[in-house]
Amino acid sequence: MKKYFLLAVVGLLLLTGCGKNQVVCTISVEENGMKVTESIIGELDGDNKVTKVSMEYEYNDAETVKQLCDIVKISFPEAECSGKKIILPDAAAMLEDEETKLVGLTKEEFITYATSEGEGVTCK
């Protein structure tokens, strides 16, 4: 019985992504009458340093994503559009410049960067 319980817990963690070591910072904004939730996700290694950065934009409806998807893919061909979300799987290149490097930041430094981008940003 304990074995089945343990397998169920491990399965649940794998399905929900709870086993991932990441920090997610989000903000909800209103753009042209539409609510958009923007997330910047930093995947962390065992030392709590950022190894990969992605971004997600979630809209109220899937039709908006369909309309925006082709436009976004002109600048970011790797963008993924699914349902109500537009996902940029490798956002570090888009966000980084000579002064700002996100990959290699500690979790705390990443949170400081994300929350400095505007009011209302929350990180988990």
- pLDDT tens digits for range 12-39: 333 334 568 999 999 999 978 889 999 9
What ranges make up the beta strands (E) of the chain?
22-31, 34-44, 50-59, 80-82, 85-88, 122-123
Average pLDDT rounded to a whole number, residues 68-93: 94
Average pLDDT over residues 58-64: 92
- Band (pLDDT 50/70/90 cuts) for residue 117 is confident
Which pLDDT score, from 0 to 100, does residue 12 have? 33
DSSP summary character for residue 76: -
* pLDDT above 50: residue 45: yes
- In one-letter notation, the amino acid at residue 94 is M
Is this model's pTM higher than 0.75 or not?
Answer: yes
Q: Could you tell me if 80 and 69 are in contact, meaning their C-beta atoms sit under 8 angstroms apart? A: no
How high does pLDDT run on average in the chain?
A: 84
* pLDDT value, residue 5: 31
The residue-averaged pLDDT of 85-94 equals 92
**In whole angstroms, what is the distance from residue 7 CA to residue 19 CA?**
14
